[in-house]
Structure 1
Amino acid sequence: MAAATVLLATACGSTSKPVAGGPVAAEGSTSASLPTQDVVSGVQTDPALKAELPASIASRGTLLLGTTQPTGLSGLPHDGVDAAGKEVGLDVDLRNAIAKKLGVTWDTQYGTFQTIIPGTQNGKFDVGWGNFGVTKAREKIVDFATYLTDGQAFLGASSVSADKISTLADLCGYTVATSPGSTFQQILTNGASQCSAAGKKPYQVQYFSDSAPIFLGLANGKIDVLFGPTLSVKYDALHVPNTKFLGQISTTPVGVVTAKGSPLTKPLSDAVNALIADGSYAKIFAKWGVPDTEVKSSQINPDPGF
Structure 2
Amino acid sequence: MKLLKPVLAPVLAPVLAPVLALVASFTLAACNSSDTLSASDQRVGSTPSSTGSTAAASSTAIPTTDVVSAVKEVAKLHAELPAAIRSSGVITLGTTEATGSSGLPHSGSDASGTQIGLDVDLRNAVAKVLGVQWKVSYGSFETIVPGTQSGKYDVGQDNFAVTSERLAVVDFATYLTDGQGFVAGADSSLDKVTKLTDICGHTVSTIAGSSFQEILRAGVDECAKAGLDAYKTKYFSDTSSVILGLQNGRTDLYFGPTLGDEYLVAHQPNLKFLGQVSSTDVGFVTAKGSSLAHVLVAAVNELIADGEYAKIFAKWDLAGAGIDKSEFDPKPTF
User: 1:83: Cα distance to partner?
Assistant: 3.1
Q: 1:48–1:99: structure 2 CA closer, same or farther, 3 Å change rule?
A: same
Match of 1:36 among 64, 68, 92: 64
Instruction: Give the aligned partner of residue 234 of structure 2.
Output: 206
User: 1:223: Cα distance to partner?
Assistant: 1.4
Larger relative helix fraction: 1
- Give the Cα separation in 2 of the matches to 1:142 and 1:155: 32
Q: 1:271–1:176: structure 2 CA closer, same or farther, 3 Å change rule?
A: same
Match of 1:6 among 16, 26, 37: 26
- Secondary structure, aligned partner of 1:178: strand
- Give the Cα separation in 1 of the matches to 2:100 and 2:118: 15
Q: 1:179-221: per-residue Cα shift (whole Å, max 9, x none)?
A: 3443323433443332112211011223333334322222221
User: 1:25: Cα distance to partner?
Assistant: 5.2
- Give the Cα separation in 2 of the matches to 1:229 and 1:25: 20
Q: How does 1:144-223 map to 2 (within 5 A)?
A: 144-223=172-251
71-80 vs 275-284, greater mean Cα deviation: 71-80
- Give the Cα separation in 1 of the matches to 2:239 and 2:82: 39
- Give the Cα separation in 2 of the matches to 1:74 and 1:25: 11
Q: 1:35-59: per-residue Cα shift (whole Å, max 9, x none)?
A: 3332211211111111111111111
Instruction: Give the aligned partner of residue 24 of structure 1.
Output: 51
User: 1:167: Cα distance to partner?
Assistant: 1.6
Q: 1:4–1:227: structure 2 CA closer, same or farther, 3 Å change rule?
A: closer
Instruction: Give the aligned partner of residue 13 of structure 1.
Output: none
Q: Which runs of 5 or more structure 1 residues have no equivalent in the other structure?
A: 10-21
* Amino acid corresponding to residue 76 of structure 1 in structure 2: L
Q: 1:4-53: per-residue Cα shift (whole Å, max 9, x none)?
A: 532888xxxxxxxxxxxx85259856799333332211211111111111
User: 1:108: Cα distance to partner?
Assistant: 0.8
Match of 1:49 among 41, 58, 77: 77
- Give the Cα separation in 2 of the matches to 1:294 and 1:215: 26
* Amino acid corresponding to residue 44 of structure 1 in structure 2: K
Match of 1:259 among 287, 294, 298: 287
Kept in 1: contact 2:95–2:137 (CA 8 A) = yes
After the TM superposition, list the runs of 4 or more consecutive aligned residues in structure 1 that deviate by more than 4 angstroms: 25-32
Q: TM-score, normalised by structure 1?
A: 0.87
What percent of counterpart residues are identical? 54
Q: 1:119–1:29: structure 2 CA closer, same or farther, 3 Å change rule?
A: farther
User: 1:80: Cα distance to partner?
Assistant: 2.4
Match of 1:231 among 245, 250, 259: 259
Kept in 2: contact 1:66–1:129 (CA 8 A) = yes
Q: 1:58-115: per-residue Cα shift (whole Å, max 9, x none)?
A: 1111011111212222222122222344332211211111001111101111112122
- Secondary structure, aligned partner of 1:146: strand
Q: TM-score, normalised by structure 2?
A: 0.80
Match of 1:123 among 148, 151, 156: 151
- Give the Cα separation in 2 of the matches to 1:279 and 1:174: 42
User: 1:301: Cα distance to partner?
Assistant: 1.0
* Amino acid corresponding to residue 157 of structure 2 in structure 1: W
- Secondary structure, aligned partner of 1:292: coil
- Give the Cα separation in 1 of the matches to 2:53 and 2:178: 21
* Amino acid corresponding to residue 24 of structure 1 in structure 2: T
Match of 2:99 among 47, 71, 76: 71
- Give the Cα separation in 2 of the matches to 1:122 and 1:230: 31
- Give the Cα separation in 2 of the matches to 1:267 and 1:261: 12
- Give the Cα separation in 1 of the matches to 2:144 and 2:173: 16
- Give the Cα separation in 1 of the matches to 2:23 and 2:256: 20
Matched, 1:138 2:177: no
How many matched pairs? Answer: 293
- Give the Cα separation in 1 of the matches to 2:26 and 2:137: 22
